[in-house]
Amino acid sequence: MATVLLQPEFARRHTGGERIIEVEATTCQALIELLDERHPGFADAIAKGVVVAIDGQLYPDPLLQALKAGSEVCFLPALEGG
């Protein structure tokens, strides 16, 4: 079971306002697919311009990342830099 934390704005638009969501998934890809089933359009929203933080680490290629029991997943705007 992983816990997804969403910012209010993102939640308002993509999960009907739900900000903390428990998902049974062992990879980030499965997690996104499950959320997309519950909230159609979620995967599209993640597909562009989002990085994922899993237990505090930012990953630019989230789909491949494994989730542990109790993992915490946050979706953030993609970051670049100077």
Partner 1 sequence: MGNEERQFKWVGTRQVRPDGVEKVTGQANYGADFTLPGMITGRVLRSPHAHARIRSIDTSAASALKGVRAVVTADDFPNLPSEVVAGGESPVNYRYISCNAIARDKVLYEGHAVAAVAASDPAVAEAALKLIQVEYELLPHVIDVREAMREDAPLLHEDLFTEGVDPKPARPSNIAKRTEFLLGDPAAGFAECEVIIERSYTTQPVHQGYIEPHACVASVAADGMTTVWSSSQGQFMVREFCAKLLKIADSDLRVIPAEIGGGFGGKTTVYLEPLAIALSRKSGKPVKMVMSREEVFKASGPTSGGVLHVKIGARRDGTLLAGECELAYQAGAFPGSPAIPGCMTAFACYDIPNAKTVGFDVVSNRPKCAAYRAPGAPMAAFAVESALDELALKLGMDPIELRLKNAAKEGTRALYGPKMPIIGFVETLEAARAHPHYNTPLKANQGRGIASGFWFNIGGQSSAALHINEDGTAEVVTGNPDIGGSRASMAIMAAEVLGIDYAKVKPLIGDTASVGYSFLTGGSRVTFATGKAVVEAANDVVQQLRARAAKIWKCEVEEVIWKDGVAHPAQGQTDTRTQLSLAEIAASAARTGGPISGKASLNAGGAGPGFGTHLCDVEVDPETGRVEVLRYTVIQDVGRAIHPSYVEGQMQGGAAQGIGWALNEEYVYDEQGRLQNPGFLDYRMPVASDLPMIDTVMVEVPNPAHPFGVRGVGEVPIVPPLAAVANAVARASGVRVNDLPISPPRLLAALMK
Can you give the binding site for partner 1, defined by CB under 8 A? 5, 7-9, 12-13, 47-49, 53, 55-61, 65, 72, 74-82
- Kindly state the tokens that stand for 68: 């542990």
**CB nearer to partner 1: pick between 41 and 49:** 49
**Cα 79 to the center of its chain, rounded Å:** 16
For the CB of residue 75, give the shortest distance to partner 1 in the complex, in Å: 8
For the CB of residue 51, give the shortest distance to partner 1 in the complex, in Å: 9
